[in-house]
Structure 1
Amino acid sequence: MLLYAFTMFLSACLLFTVQPMFARLVLPLLGGTPNVWNTCMVFFQAALLVGYGYAHFASSRLKTGRHAVLQIVLLAAAFLVLPFSVASAGAPDPNANPIPWLMMILLTTVGPPFAIASTTAPVLQAWFSRSRHKAARDPYFLYAASNLGSVTGLLGYIAVIEPNFTLVQQSRLWTVGYTLLVALIAFCAVWALRNAESVESRSTGDAPAAEPVSALRRLRWVALAFVPSSLMLGVTTHITTDIAAVPLLWLAPLTLYLITFMMAFATKWRIPHKWIVWVTPVAVAWLLTTFARRELTLSQIIVTHNLAFFLTAAVLHGELAKDRPSTSRLTEFYFLVSLGGVLGGAFNTFAAPFLFTTTLEYQIGIVLACLLMPAWPAIPRLKASQWGRFNPWDIVLPVFVGSLAVGAGVLLRNHEIPPRASQTTITIVVLVVFGLLCAQRPLRFGLAVAALLLAFTYGWRTPLKVMYQVRSFYGILRITHNHVDQRLELKHGTTLHGAQSLLPIYRRSPITYYHPTGPIGQLFITLGPTGRFDNVAVVGLGTGTLAAYAEPGQSFTFYELDPYVIEVANNPGSFTFLGDARNRGAKIDIVTGDARLKLVTAPDARYDLLILDAFSSDSIPMHLMTREAFQLYLKKLAPGGIISCHISNRYLDLKSVVAKLAEDSGLVCRIQQDSLPVTNNRRWDKVGSVWCIVARKDEDFGELKFDERWELHIPRAGDRVWTDDYSNILNTLNW
């Protein structure tokens, strides 16, 4: 039994180590968007489904001996693609959806070994169930060993593998682990053959009959697996969109997801399921408050969303474990659970971007989870029940709660009560308590949560006229008409990425982060007239605001990954910075694709000024802030040239990261944190920002060298330079 448990542990450890490892490999090729992880997750879930499908077919059709031979042959065949690499993959077409390209890379590299390794758990449990071991009648306890291996693999990757090994070394280490796995499975096969002969030689009449399972029960298994899978990707997207697309933040929800599976199928040291059922509605109610209050700290966002997800997934997986069938249906059960996981991931990754222009799938997942939960036992005086017969109050109470929430939002907004005011807090708490009182019936609770989500998401926002909205692989773009400030605004996710005044007198003026009195404005106004910046490269287009500084005869080259951003910036009905610059006689070029890949083809020593202004919502793609990236920038930088980095961020402090990169390359780094005065902390035309300027020597900064606003910055002691193989997001978080 120990041999089987350890083999399943190692298999799961390998499966969940390779997922973040391979996502890190392809991330720089796709601009660092969070959807890289979601797409990889769906592929791995689909590969798991294929593996479980094979396991179900082979276990039900083949005797242990033939199955063992087939299993070893398939495991050995996967060595043809090991160790895996994407060095020869090239880059995706920048004008096409990158998902098919990414899927093909996954299929031809990591796909075969992952798919066959994923069969280890159901195959070994099927072999074990046919043995004479006393625990053979209920081998589900081995699933806990598999889940423990999954969690160990994920945490080990974050704590040990990623910080200490390059990606090439990681791939080789994984191959060594896979070789050990093949050997262990061979030993398991020998054990199974020796212990299964007497069992398999029994007559068919002595074998236990297959447990009857209805179609509705199968559908429930799929649903209970679908919702946690969808929620996992939903909370991942919600968090990483505004922070950073890095393994640390990807893996937290996935680790919690696996822990809930481990808890559900454990036979010892498990938390009573009824305790989790009791506390989960409270966590969901608290989660609702984050949709009403948007001025939250990073720790509040991460803890609240992950805790609610963890408890919700624990309840649903607990219900799944309670309803597991006998061993005669073991492989079918695992196949249907895997199918639910794939469908949940596919819904978020493939269907949702086409169905919704916002991340509505996350809210839908929360509501579905509430509908699938058992009745809340915390209200003893109210008769708790499951769905049962229809009750009119199941509709009336949620409508009442939702209407109350909308009315409260309008009242608070009309009286201009701040989001952090005590009146707002009390109102939110009262509303979620009303929602919580509906939890004694799943239908009533689910509809009440839906009503509050709609009210908090839409009814509590200041109304803005949406001129354009689109969702793509790279995120959600939205153009809104701000009537108060009389300007058009471009937002990516929840973050402002530029704006243009609608007032004719200010129409051509750069505003927000690019204001003339801000850091980047000082750079252009102070050094621009000296003829220093004939050729300028800008990584990240946004609204094209920086083109407002382009003078006749100057050349500005923008590198932009998202075709929709290019469409928006070039549309004169939205933003006119690019068109105005061309009309002034400036040369404006746009290169479509990831800047790291496209800059390689630019002539060396071409650019006098290279500006890094690329964002994915509020996060900066990490692959643009590495040693290898800066070496490329220096190669393309003319003598006396300057690199300028826009590092404004709500949750990350990247000043020391840039300073360390500069120090590593023998460069000089100055940083300005431009904050608006407390007495005038809201201006229609300017937003506080943080910019770095980097050059080969201090004299290259010209007069800015003597400007006290631009401070020399030295990295923190002990900081390690970021590379394509290493980054430490923990050191940069503003908790």
Structure 2
Amino acid sequence: MLPLFATTIFLSAFLLFGVQPMFTKMVLPILGGSPSVWSVAMVFFQALLLAGYAYANLLVTRMRRGVAVAVHVALLALAMAGLPISVVAFGSPEPSGPTAIWLLGVFALSVGLPFLALSANGPLLQAWFGQVGDKQSSDPYFLYAASNAGSFLALLSYPLLIEPWLRLGEQSLLWASLYGLLATGVSLCAFFLIRRGRGISETIAADEIERIAVGWSDRLAWMAIALVPSGLLVAVTAHIATDVASAPFLWVLPLALFLLTFIMTFRERSFASSGKLKAIQVWGIAFVFLMLLKGAETLALAGLHLVVFFVSALIAHRALYERRPSARNLTSFYVWMSAGGVMGGVFSGLLAPALFSGVLEYPILLVASLFVGRKVAWRDFTSKEAYPGIAAAILLVGCGVLILLVDRLSETILFITGVLLIILLILTWRKAVGTVLVGTACALTVTVLSDLVVGTTSYRSFFGVNKVYESPDGQFRYIRHGSTIHGAIRLRTPDGKLVTGRPEPLTYYASAGSNVLGIEAVRRAQGGRLNRVAAVGLGSGSIACSIKAGENWTFFEIDPVVTEIATDPSQFAFMAKCAPNSRIVHGDARLTLQKEADRFDLIFLDAFSSDSIPAHLITVEAIRSYLDRMSPNGVVVMHISNRHLDLRAIVARAAAEAGLVTYAGATKASGEATGASITLAIGHRAEDMGDIAQTWKLIRPDYARSPWTDDYSNIIEGINDKWFGPAMDEVLIQPGRSVEASN
């Protein structure tokens, strides 16, 4: 019996977690590739997992074996009727409406039934195995490792084997075929349950019921412990995806580590409860707080967040295993554990964006993870163990007083206070209460206090968090999404005088930057004036000051909050003074562009969120959709600056598939005004781009690689190109030889 049940559980888990990145990738183009799509997806899948566990518990505890078997096999057959999986959407989401609720409906209609059937298989088959009379039936919890092994393999296989080689339609067909095989396996397990379980009584004596009963304290403990790693999973995934790319490759890493912790902890012997692991957790959280305090984020530092998450999940899931009930309460245990998981996901994915203007859920959950696995009693808060917390509170109050007295040194004082608190956190790792209290003080320092000192105003929407703040000397105001500045305006001159008149574009949009140089070149090629222009991505509105008299520009922005910031003259004056009458269209640009009646001479595309790329805007289908809205000699100018990915070869290959040529130009940072930028110009012919053909680098398409399409993309290519591709110096626009000068 063991090989049959273990293999069936393994395959069920493989399909359960294989469908998550596959279907979420299908949905991404509808919502602009936002990282929040994956956060909402995880909330949906966690909620349906809870429903499946509750359904399995109902079958095991409330129905006779024969009836339970018939009901579950019927559900599997009904779900199979809706395969292969495809997106079932009802209308388009309103940008200012309840996007998350709309998205949950799409998931429910498209994959709800098969996912519900699959999610019940894990606990149900474990419970069935406990009734077939096998020598290992008395403690079937070890089969949970087989379940998580299947899930883990699915998540690793998707970005490495499935996504690079199979298109979404092919993936869906393969998934449907394996689902049919699984249904056969479940039916066999049900057959042997009926056949071999006849001699095992389904009734339980009263004294046995009393002995195996669990109380509400047990249920609440299971739920509370499971909440923390589940919430951390959503929070850390969103944190990483915002600064790299919203793609399955980066979604599955945290989820795979999450499942790996179950494999390592749901067994008789595990190192996950050792004191050394808790020391590693405290040290790791201390370094995460330090990085949050400095605002430093790189692809390498994403590994630090993953390590801290992995260790915290190990500790939490080991604590769950050590509190597991007898096999009779197995399905109930999984129900309450799953309920905690749903609560954690709802907190991070749905409630936090509505409750907090900044990303506070991540540090909050890091502090909560310090509770798990440590015995903390209320009386400990008045004992000697609370002394480090008192010291942390004194440091925080002292920091606030010093900042009020010495305003010019506020950021220095904040940083010193943060470092001292982090050192104190490391020193107190053996003291449970001290660790929790000092960790709370660290979280307050790197979030609330840090924003107050810098003078940051945070704006949060479904599409992320935008922060508006001024430089310490008061000369500039910035808008930042994630860890990337998306625009800046000069407020005062170096001698402190207020700047008046038409604002000067800075950073990526400076007159000497590759974005503006590319636009100017296309303008000259078309007789010195662009009739109609589509600008995708608003940011601070800086590019509006590149508009010339008589030109008609339309801005396309997916996030209404960004529009509010950019059109508020008290924040950024670019739109108010340079394009007060320009039209702004809300929604995903790929969809809204198609609704435009007229054609454009230029499409300027700058739609990255932090360093996360909306892959659906650079596929073959996307570029062909731009062609549909371009005049015969129109050009796409695309800003692709990114710290982690090089998109030159990827975009050039997709453009070649659409019959277009691609040139790349780049400028280095120059003082405070000009930021480093990399820009592509894409058109039918080189002459449509003017003198770009003489000053920019022609990117020849690599036909050995597959072009990115709506059902195929491989983010690993972009990472490899960044580190092993052609040197960026090859596309630099030479100083002193701008496009205008070369003409």
Using structure 1 for the length normalisation, give the TM-score.
Answer: 0.90
Alignment counterpart, residue 478 of structure 2, candidates 483, 486, 489: 489
Displacement of 1:62 in angstroms is: 1.2
Distance 2:544 2:141 in 1: 62
Displacement of 1:633 in angstroms is: 1.2
Distance 1:540 1:272 in 2: 46
Does the 8 Å contact 1:218/1:336 carry over to 2?
yes
Distance change in 2, residues 1:201/1:542 (3 Å): closer
Matched AA of 1:370 = L
The answer for the alignment partner of 1:594 in structure 2 is 588
Q: Is 1:555 matched with 2:552? A: yes
Displacement of 1:720 in angstroms is: 3.3
Alignment counterpart, residue 431 of structure 2, candidates 433, 441, 456: 441
Distance 1:522 1:18 in 2: 44
Alignment counterpart, residue 400 of structure 1, candidates 386, 391, 403: 391
Does the 8 Å contact 1:482/1:488 carry over to 2?
yes
The answer for the alignment partner of 1:107 in structure 2 is 108
Q: Is 1:650 matched with 2:647? A: no
The answer for the alignment partner of 1:316 in structure 2 is 316
The answer for the alignment partner of 2:75 in structure 1 is 74
**Larger deviation: 309-318 or 438-447?**
438-447
Displacement of 1:464 in angstroms is: 3.1
Distance 1:248 1:517 in 2: 36
Displacement of 1:623 in angstroms is: 0.8
Distance 1:491 1:461 in 2: 13
Alignment counterpart, residue 617 of structure 1, candidates 599, 607, 610: 610
The answer for the alignment partner of 2:505 in structure 1 is 510
Matched AA of 1:53 = A
Does the 8 Å contact 1:209/1:328 carry over to 2?
no
**Larger deviation: 449-458 or 8-17?**
449-458
Q: Is 1:469 matched with 2:458? A: yes
Does the 8 Å contact 2:227/2:341 carry over to 1?
yes
After superposition, give the CA deviation of every residue in 1:40-94 in whole Å (9 maximum; x if it has no partner).
1111111111111111122111121111111111111112322221165442123
Matched AA of 2:616 = H
The answer for the alignment partner of 1:371 in structure 2 is 371
The answer for the alignment partner of 1:713 in structure 2 is 699
Distance change in 2, residues 1:575/1:16 (3 Å): same
Q: Is 1:726 matched with 2:723? A: no
Distance 1:47 1:505 in 2: 56
Displacement of 1:485 in angstroms is: 5.1
Percentage of identical aligned residues? 38
After superposition, give the CA deviation of every residue in 1:243-291 in whole Å (9 maximum; x if it has no partner).
11111111111000011111111347x5463253453333333333322
**Larger deviation: 663-672 or 105-114?**
663-672
Displacement of 1:100 in angstroms is: 1.6
Does the 8 Å contact 1:387/1:443 carry over to 2?
no
Helix, strand or coil at the partner of 2:665: strand
The answer for the alignment partner of 2:38 in structure 1 is 37
Distance 2:28 2:394 in 1: 44
Helix, strand or coil at the partner of 2:659: coil
Distance change in 2, residues 1:476/1:258 (3 Å): same
The answer for the alignment partner of 2:567 in structure 1 is 570
Distance change in 2, residues 1:541/1:417 (3 Å): closer
Does the 8 Å contact 1:539/1:611 carry over to 2?
yes
Matched AA of 2:649 = S
After superposition, give the CA deviation of every residue in 1:328-377 in whole Å (9 maximum; x if it has no partner).
211110000000000000011111111111110011100011012326xx
Displacement of 1:567 in angstroms is: 2.2
Helix, strand or coil at the partner of 1:6: helix
Distance 1:574 1:416 in 2: 23
Displacement of 1:515 in angstroms is: 0.9
Does the 8 Å contact 1:413/1:462 carry over to 2?
no
Does the 8 Å contact 1:9/1:147 carry over to 2?
yes
The answer for the alignment partner of 1:541 in structure 2 is 538
Distance 1:280 1:88 in 2: 42
Mapping of residues 50-199 of structure 1, within 5 Å: 50-86=51-87, 89-199=90-200
Helix, strand or coil at the partner of 1:261: helix
After superposition, give the CA deviation of every residue in 1:411-431 in whole Å (9 maximum; x if it has no partner).
999789999xxxx9x998775
The answer for the alignment partner of 2:305 in structure 1 is 305
Matched AA of 1:695 = G
Mapping of residues 305-454 of structure 1, within 5 Å: 305-374=305-374, 389-401=380-392, 404=395, 432-454=422-444
Distance change in 2, residues 1:237/1:175 (3 Å): same
Helix, strand or coil at the partner of 1:241: helix
Displacement of 1:314 in angstroms is: 0.2
**Larger deviation: 78-87 or 350-359?**
78-87
Distance 1:416 1:100 in 2: 42
Matched AA of 2:537 = G
Distance 1:493 1:406 in 2: 29
Distance change in 2, residues 1:663/1:402 (3 Å): farther
Distance change in 2, residues 1:279/1:470 (3 Å): closer
Distance change in 2, residues 1:281/1:628 (3 Å): same
Distance 1:534 1:228 in 2: 54
Distance 2:451 2:303 in 1: 24
Q: Is 1:696 matched with 2:684? A: yes
Distance 1:462 1:62 in 2: 58
After superposition, give the CA deviation of every residue in 1:436-486 in whole Å (9 maximum; x if it has no partner).
2222232221111121233344656794333x5321111112322346253
Distance 1:485 1:520 in 2: 27
Distance 2:505 2:54 in 1: 58
Gaps in structure 2 of 5+ consecutive residues:
492-497, 724-743
**Larger deviation: 219-228 or 448-457?**
448-457
Helix, strand or coil at the partner of 1:200: coil
Distance change in 2, residues 1:717/1:459 (3 Å): farther
Does the 8 Å contact 1:532/1:608 carry over to 2?
no
Distance 1:620 1:60 in 2: 48
Does the 8 Å contact 2:152/2:260 carry over to 1?
yes
**Larger deviation: 301-310 or 158-167?**
158-167
Distance change in 2, residues 1:686/1:65 (3 Å): same
Helix, strand or coil at the partner of 1:110: helix
Helix, strand or coil at the partner of 1:500: strand
Displacement of 1:528 in angstroms is: 3.0
Helix, strand or coil at the partner of 1:641: strand
After superposition, give the CA deviation of every residue in 1:643-702 in whole Å (9 maximum; x if it has no partner).
11111122222222223233333322222221125xxxx41x332211111121212221
The answer for the alignment partner of 1:480 in structure 2 is 469
**Larger deviation: 656-665 or 696-705?**
656-665
Matched AA of 2:628 = K
Distance change in 2, residues 1:273/1:176 (3 Å): same
Distance 1:428 1:94 in 2: 38
Does the 8 Å contact 2:319/2:372 carry over to 1?
no
Distance change in 2, residues 1:654/1:506 (3 Å): farther
Helix, strand or coil at the partner of 2:645: coil
Matched AA of 2:530 = F
The answer for the alignment partner of 1:379 in structure 2 is none
The answer for the alignment partner of 2:730 in structure 1 is none
Distance 2:342 2:522 in 1: 55
Distance change in 2, residues 1:329/1:480 (3 Å): same
Distance 1:440 1:582 in 2: 60
Does the 8 Å contact 1:413/1:460 carry over to 2?
no
The answer for the alignment partner of 2:663 in structure 1 is 670
Displacement of 1:319 in angstroms is: 0.6
Displacement of 1:160 in angstroms is: 1.5
Distance 1:691 1:312 in 2: 41
Displacement of 1:398 in angstroms is: 2.5
Distance 2:215 2:226 in 1: 17
Helix, strand or coil at the partner of 2:507: coil
Helix, strand or coil at the partner of 2:200: helix
Displacement of 1:592 in angstroms is: 1.2
Distance 2:204 2:313 in 1: 42
